[in-house]
Amino acid sequence: MTERYRAKHVAEPATPEDGKRILVDRLWPRGVKKAELAHDLWLKEIAPSHELRKWYGHEPARWEAFRDRYGAELEANQETVARLLELSKDGPVTLLFSARDRARNQAVALRDYLNTQVKAL
């Protein structure tokens, strides 16, 4: 079974396989014009809290702790999580991010969390 949620950097071109494209950064990506980013929704309320984002600071050594802490924040934000789960009923959802580290960022952590939630349904 293919994963319903994918993570993709905002600089990568949109493809038909992306399905719905949701920006999940709390802040709009630097240097990207709103009219130029192919996206269906900016869901900034699903992003990690300002405090968690600052604490993580994209330090690779903090990645696992970040995932755990962000997962706890997602557990407390079930209304927004439910909205994202609902969006995947019609097809794939691509979570857009602007972080430099393409392997360890909030969209990757969110993708993994959501794919786990879908499998549990």
What per-residue confidence (pLDDT) applies to 87?
93
Phi, psi of 41 (to 5 degrees): -160, 145
Q: How confident is the model over 21-73, as pLDDT tens digits?
A: 999 999 999 999 999 999 999 999 999 999 999 999 999 999 999 999 999 99
Taking the C-alpha atoms of residue 2 and residue 69, their distance in angstroms, rounded to an integer, is: 26
Mean residue pLDDT across the chain? 94
Q: What is the pTM of this model?
A: 0.94
Instruction: Please give the residue that has the higher pLDDT: either 3 or 38.
Output: 38
What per-residue confidence (pLDDT) applies to 121?
65
